[in-house]
Amino acid sequence: MNSVLVDPATGVPEPRYHPPADKSVVSATSLGAWSTATIGAGASGIQRVVTSLTVSMCTAPSVLATTTIGIQILDGTTMIWGAVVSVGSAGVSPPIVIPNLNLLTSSATTVSAGFDKAVSLATQFVTLTYHDIGV
């Protein structure tokens, strides 16, 4: 016989499986510094699933010439996702949001995401969202 947990306030059956909750790490740099958001290595057998990435870079108008900059996600030292974006005179604005990534990383490994270089007179922002599995 299967038993079902029921929320006493609503009478709605509760699912048996609760998906892991997302966590975020954020990096916001000072002017001219390189921004990278880093998740420390988990315990043995713990893997991270990167679910989304948000990046932006702001500067005063006319400070930057139009150019490109790389954005990457690293599993240890291995790039598992990357893109190149155009940078206009005001930087990368509005923020670029990359949802639904679902990138599985190696166990017990540091995961980081960010721009591939610093840009003088610019401030970079990175938010990396993930959850753990194997807990």
Which of 23, 28, 5 is closest to 15 using CA atoms?
A: 5
Instruction: Look at residue 11 and tell me if it is in a domain.
Output: no
Instruction: Look at residue 12 and tell me if it is in a domain.
Output: no
In three-state form (DSSP H/G/I as H, E/B as E, the rest C), the secondary structure along the chain is CCCCCECCCCCCECCCCCCCCCEEEEEECCCCCCCEEEECCCCCCCEEEEEEEEEEEEECCCCCCCEEEEEEEEECCEEEEEEEEEEECCEEEEEEEECCCCEECCCCCCEEEEECCCCCCEEEEEEEEEEEECC
Q: What is the pLDDT of residue 93?
A: 65
* Whole-prediction pTM: 0.78
Instruction: Look at residue 18 and tell me if it is in a domain.
Output: no
Q: What is the pLDDT of residue 95?
A: 86
- pLDDT bin (cut points 50, 70, 90) of residue 1 is very low
CATH code where residue 38 lies:
2.60.120
Structural domain boundaries, residue 37: 23-133
Instruction: Look at residue 72 and tell me if it is in a domain.
Output: yes
Q: What is the pLDDT of residue 119?
A: 80
Instruction: Look at residue 7 and tell me if it is in a domain.
Output: no
Instruction: Look at residue 57 and tell me if it is in a domain.
Output: yes
Give the pLDDT confidence of 12-70 residue by residue, as tens digits: 665 554 556 789 999 988 888 889 999 999 888 888 999 999 998 887 665 555 578 89
- Residue 95, sorted as left (phi over 0), alpha (psi -120 to 50) or beta, turns out to be beta
Which token pair is 60?
């005063």
Q: What is the pLDDT of residue 67?
A: 74
How many domains does the chain divide into?
1
- pLDDT mean across residues, the chain: 82
Lowest-confidence segment of 4-18, 63-77, 82-96 by average pLDDT: 4-18
- 76/59: higher pLDDT: 76
Let me know: does 48 contact 107? Beta carbons within 8 Å: no
Instruction: Look at residue 98 and tell me if it is in a domain.
Output: yes
Instruction: Look at residue 8 and tell me if it is in a domain.
Output: no
